[in-house]
Chains A and B, each alone.
Chain A
Amino acid sequence: MARIIVVTSGKGGVGKTTTSAAIAMGLAKKGHKTAVIDFDVGLRNLDLIMGCERRVVYDFINVVNGEATLHQALIKDKNCSQLYILPASQTRDKDALSKEGVEKVLEELSKTFKYIVCDSPAGIEKGAHLAMYFADDAFVVTNPEVSSVRDSDRMLGLMSSKSRRAEQNQEPIKEYLLLSRYSPDRVKLGEMLSVEDVQEILSLPLLGVIPESKSVLNASNAGIPIILDEKSDAGQAYADIVARYLGEDKPHRFIEDKKGFFGKLFGGK
């Protein structure tokens, strides 16, 4: 049985697709057969971030509608043979998805894959609901900013009441916090919420902090998941996150300023 991971946030632009691409790649690189599905029907982006947009023939909706087989629609990643991408349709909208259709696709993927990463669209409507409905684990991507935190909280509420696990009274979805676009400098200046602030509001276990980084934008534009950029701090942060998710004990990094030596020396936090 595959483990289904939803990458969600409620709010848009916080880094869901970047995170989906990175952790799917990370899991695959660790040797686990992984599929990543773009649930953002109508605004498909995952294939761009994964650098496979020119190889899209069939999409998720075609499979849901039975117009193509899963095998035809899955795109094998060129960097890692263990990773497959199921792109969204750009010409349809979220109503083209159905609970039964999604369930069928996930069931079929579960037979051969170890992890299925569902890249949720923003919002709390149908696309986002279906992305999280069948999930076992949830990666809640949050920016250190009040509206993002509030939307994540809303999403967490929906997951604890409107998911399959909740409806069937099973063990609830395991939720993890991923704090992205974090900048210790700005936290120090009081312009950003700190890790502690966000954790206090959401009371979630922290899976990792991804620092604000220029390399993320470059990687996105180049169509290479950021985790493959091992020199970048964001890439390292995602590698840590994948390792922690798989049970490795990695100390948290990127929470404090790199130049924080003097700060620490003089008692600043």
Chain B
Amino acid sequence: MSTDDQTTAYNAPVLEFKSGSFSVPALILSGNDLQLIEQQLQDKIRLAPEFFKNSPVIIDLKELTRQSLNIDIALITEIARKLGLLPIGIRGGTLQQNKEALDLRIPVYSNNSRTTATGTQIATQTTPDVSQKKDAVPTAMVITQPIRSGQRLYAHGDLVILAQVSAGAEILAEGNIHVYGALRGRALAGVQGNTDARIFCTHLQAELISIAGNYKISEDLAKTIYNKPVHIYLKDYTLVIKEL
């Protein structure tokens, strides 16, 4: 029994890489006088001691590098630690400073703060991403009752309506919208910005149609497609209405 337990324990994954984004304050230096820095930093911390206590911090050297001012990484991290901060990286430093930091086992972040992380992210995230997407695809919401004036319907995925949508009603979907009946109200597809979302309906009489925020009101709709079965999609940020 005990051996069995051990083998299972051995095979079971005990770790997993996941990407996370954390907000960490950056300490932006614009001068290299260590005494002055210590003084001013102390003053700042005194304003909110609890906030800064054991707070992780990234030391931003961009401004110093721009001004060609040098600073000793070991000394500045020492000052930060002394005042209760926990330096967890530098960014915007020179090659020399980056090397110093790594020697002190302090990570180096690139200026736009994300690129260093992305490499590992892509590598470790491939598998979980796929499974997540599979779970995340929401099933279509199917409605068989008429949507009356004043009613509002929101679907997280696709929305299929097997009845009419009255004037003054509003249907919204993050995915596509299908209306098998007269569409007289407002229909908004891709409301979370999905520009690939489409609207299908058998009788177009809508007050407003919109895909990912690009909309047309009833007045803008051509008379030739009024009450016709149509298919509406987005092409170069313009709504295209095609008769089916």
Contacts and interface: CB of A to CB of B under 8 A. Distances in A.
B168 A154 contact: yes
A126 interface: no
B149 A150 contact: yes
Nearest to A200: B182
Nearest to A10: B149
Given A157-B169, A160-B145, A203 B164 contact: yes
B181 to A, nearest CB: 8
Contacts of B150: 153-154, 157-158
Contacts, number: 37
B84 interface: no
Given A203-B146, A203-B163, A161 B151 contact: yes
Interface in B121-179: 145-151, 163-164, 166-169
Contacts of A154: 148-150, 168
Main secondary structure of the interface of A (DSSP, over half): helix
Q: Which of A151, A157, A161, A201 has the most CB of B within 10 A?
A: A157
Interface residues of A, number: 13
Nearest to B166: A153
Contact of A156 (B148, B167, B184): B148
Nearest to A201: B166
B171 to A, nearest CB: 12
Contacts of A201: 166-167, 184
A153 B145 contact: no
Interface string A140-160: 000000000011011011101
Main secondary structure of the interface of B (DSSP, over half): loop
Contacts of A160: 145, 148, 151
B12 to A, nearest CB: 44
Contacts of A151: 149
A143 B155 CA distance: 34
Interface string A160-193: 1100000000001000000000000000000000
Nearest to B182: A200
B163 A153 contact: no
Nearest to A157: B148
Nearest to B164: A203
Contact of B168 (A153, A158, A172, A203): A153
A161 B149 CA distance: 12
A203 B182 CA distance: 10
B151 A157 contact: yes
B149 A157 contact: yes
Nearest to A155: B148
Interface of B: 145-151, 163-164, 166-169, 182, 184
10 contacts: A150-B149, A150-B168, A153-B167, A154-B168, A157-B148, A157-B149, A157-B169, A201-B166, A203-B146, A203-B163
Interface of A: 150-151, 153-154, 156-158, 160-161, 172, 200-201, 203
Top 5 A-B residue pairs of the complex, sorted by shortest distance between their CB atoms: A157-B148, A153-B149, A154-B149, A157-B151, A154-B150
